[in-house]
Amino acid sequence: MIRNLKTMQAVRQSMPRPHPAVDPLSYPVLFTLCGGPSRVGDLAADLHSDISTVSRQASSLAAHGLVDKGADPDDGRAQLLRLSPAGQELLDRVRVERARMFAELLHDWDDDDVARFTTYLDRLSDALRDRHLSPLTSEESS
């Protein structure tokens, strides 16, 4: 398992960046915003990350036109973040590239192997999340 994690980290470091100005660690913010507009605190809770980190990432993404910021209609003091059209286009490109990469990696796997592997990865991810990631309380995420 550790070997696989290290390999994935090394591969991620060596891959070309889909957007040269976007830190690879900011992509989870973009993918989470695919679900709809969100406040920074809610994004941080969803990503199990620190609010200051997500705020910094969101500001950088907004500066590059990938995220739009606006007033939250439920609370004018808060900002609501949403994926911009340019951000959606970037994620569409990332998804196509990832699908191509996985298709190449798994080209010699049969459908049953892929299905079993997916099931086992989902089970592992669920077990890790359930054991080690407690949801933040609303006080911690605001």
Q: Is residue 57 in a domain?
A: yes
Q: Is residue 14 in a domain?
A: no
Q: Is residue 13 in a domain?
A: no
Q: Is residue 48 in a domain?
A: yes
Q: Which of 43, 37, 47 is nearest to 67 (CA)?
A: 37
Q: Is residue 75 in a domain?
A: yes
For residue 11, what pLDDT is reported? 84
Entry pTM: 0.79
Q: Is residue 16 in a domain?
A: no
Residue 36 belongs to a domain with what CATH number?
A: 1.10.10.10
Task: State which residues form the domain around 90.
Answer: 23-135
**What tens-digit pLDDT sequence spans the chain (142 residues)?**
899 889 988 888 878 888 888 988 899 999 999 999 999 999 999 998 999 999 999 999 999 999 999 988 888 788 899 999 999 999 999 999 989 999 999 999 999 999 999 999 999 989 988 888 765 444 443 3
- Structural domains of the chain, count: 1
